[in-house]
Amino acid sequence: MTGSGFVGAARRLVVAFALAIPVVLAATPAEAAPDPTTSYYVRSTGTAAATRWYDYGCAQGQKDAVRPGTQNRTVLLDFGTPMLVGGVYGFDLPGGATGEFRSRPEAQPVAVNFAVGYYACTGADRASIITLAIGTTNAGTQVRDNGYQQGRAFANFIRAIASAVAANGVSSQVVVRAAIDVEMDWNTYPDTREWYDGYDSLTNAPIYNFGDAAGCSRPPPTRPATTAGPRTASGGSPTASCWPSRCHRSTPTAARRPGSGTRSPATPT
């Protein structure tokens, strides 16, 4: 009897193992990660660079056109540090010589040519969309001494690009958004917040922060819900030493002015 029982148990074990094999073999392979997009430091502007930026946009449009399904992707164009030269607002281009200034009208065609190139090269695909994030930074003395007006100037820069993209008939596939590289080592929280206040005074459009997270700790994972109700993670709020994510508000600030009367050398339009 004992021997028979042992054989029966062994047979049940074999059957159970055999039944489990198809389940393992039928496992669905992991879905492949999407192709990355290419973002750019803007190091050239003007007529000579117009074709280059059109070609960069075209290359992204061609990639999206051949990918299955409708694409919704993001590309960043980083124009560098805010500047004010002779009463003209613009940027110190990244990666160039210090003081390589470009005004907003000089910089704007870079983004517009990229947008037109993207639209042209998506071909028959009229459903895919790209978010074109126009970037700057919180670096430099202009954010420290003139942050509010620089924020306003940047909001106007984004508005001008979006208008030009629409005028070229490509806004159905290119969404223009603002972006800023906020680094804690570059300027203080009050000065950086003043830049955001200036930006928010003219628009409530979203803005991407592609900066650092220095001083930020990862919050503990959210615990599963229980019969007593859901439990959320504690310690998730930014701390005093982790402030980049706290600068931007979702609604504009009405009639906000800089904290110091010396911080308005020119009002951007």
**Lowest mean pLDDT segment, chosen from 44-53, 56-65, 180-189, 254-263:** 254-263
Q: Is position 232 within any domain?
A: no
Q: Is position 228 within any domain?
A: no
- Taking the C-alpha atoms of residue 161 and residue 166, their distance in angstroms, rounded to an integer, is 9
Q: What confidence score (pLDDT) does residue 36 get?
A: 86
Assess whether pLDDT exceeds 50 at residue 7: no
Q: Is position 90 within any domain?
A: yes
CA atoms within 13 A on the CB side of 249: 14
Predicted model pTM:
0.73
Q: Is position 259 within any domain?
A: no
Q: What confidence score (pLDDT) does residue 219 get?
A: 58
- pLDDT, one tens digit per residue, over 139-193 is 999 999 999 999 999 999 999 999 999 999 999 999 999 999 999 889 999 999 9
Q: Mean pLDDT over residues 197-225, rounded?
A: 77
What letter would DSSP give residue 229?
B
- pLDDT, one tens digit per residue, over 70-113 is 999 999 999 999 999 999 999 999 976 555 899 999 999 999 99
- CB-based burial label for 246 (10 Å; 0-12, 13-18, 19+): middle
Number of structural domains in the chain = 1
Q: How confident is the model at residue 212 (pLDDT cuts 50, 70, 90)?
A: confident
Q: Is position 195 within any domain?
A: yes
- Percent of the chain exceeding pLDDT 70 equals 65
- Taking the C-alpha atoms of residue 226 and residue 206, their distance in angstroms, rounded to an integer, is 35
